[in-house]
Amino acid sequence: MDTLSAMQAFRRVVDSGGFSAAAQLTGQSHTVLSRQVKNLERQFGTQLLHRTTRRLQLTEAGGLFYRHCAHILEQMDSMALQLSEHHEQPSGTLRLNVGTAFGELELGRWLAGFVELYPHLNIELTCTDQLVDLLAEGVDLCLRVTDYLPDSSLVARRLSLSEVILVAAPAYLKRQVSALTPETLSQHPLLVYSRLTQPNLLQLTGPDAQQLEINMPARLSANSPMALRAAAIAGLGIASFDRFIVHDALADGRLTHVLPQWTQRPRSLYALYPQSRYVTPKVRVFLDYAQQYYAVPRWVS
At 250-292, the pLDDT tens digits run: 999 999 999 999 999 999 999 998 887 678 888 989 999 999 9
Q: Which residues contact 192 (CB under 8 A, 6 or more apart)?
A: 199, 200, 218, 220, 221, 222, 228
pLDDT computed for residue 219 by the predictor: 84
Residues 69 and 16 in one domain: yes
Residues 198 and 149 in one domain: no
pLDDT computed for residue 242 by the predictor: 93
Question: For residues 164 and 43, what is the distance between their CA atoms, to the nearest angstrom?
Answer: 57
Which residues of the chain are modeled with pLDDT < 70?
1, 53-54, 81-88, 151, 277, 300-301
pLDDT computed for residue 29 by the predictor: 85
Q: Decide if 201 is inside a domain.
A: yes
pTM check: above 0.75? no
Q: Decide if 280 is inside a domain.
A: yes
Q: Say if residues 182 and 259 touch (Cβ distance below 8 Å).
A: yes
Q: What distances in angstroms separate CA 194 from CA 35, 191, 232, 233, one per listed residue? A: 46, 9, 15, 19
Residues 214 and 193 in one domain: yes
Residues 200 and 124 in one domain: no
Q: Is the dihedral of CA 249, 255, 261, 266 positive or negative?
A: negative
Range of the domain at 111: 92-159+268-293
Residue 219: φ, ψ to 5°: -85, -35
pLDDT computed for residue 82 by the predictor: 66
Q: Which residues contact 278 (CB under 8 A, 6 or more apart)?
A: 74, 77, 78, 81, 82
- Nearest to residue 7, comparing CAs of 52, 48, 57, 54? 48
Residues 149 and 280 in one domain: yes
- The sheet carrying 267-274 orders its strands as 121-127, 92-98, 141-146, 267-274, 154-162
pLDDT computed for residue 36 by the predictor: 87
Beta strands in the chain (DSSP E): 49-51, 56-58, 92-98, 121-127, 141-146, 154-162, 164-168, 190-193, 201-205, 211-215, 218-222, 238-242, 256-257, 267-274
Q: How far is CA 165 from the centre of its chain?
A: 21
Question: For residues 277 and 180, what is the distance between their CA atoms, to the nearest angstrom?
Answer: 53
Burial class for 207, CB neighbours closer than 10 Å (0-12, 13-18, 19+): exposed
pLDDT computed for residue 149 by the predictor: 77
Residues 74 and 132 in one domain: no
Residue that is last in its domain, among 85, 103, 136: 85
Residue that is last in its domain, among 58, 85, 112: 85
pLDDT computed for residue 168 by the predictor: 95
Q: Decide if 11 is inside a domain.
A: yes
Q: Decide if 284 is inside a domain.
A: yes
pLDDT computed for residue 101 by the predictor: 93
pLDDT computed for residue 276 by the predictor: 73
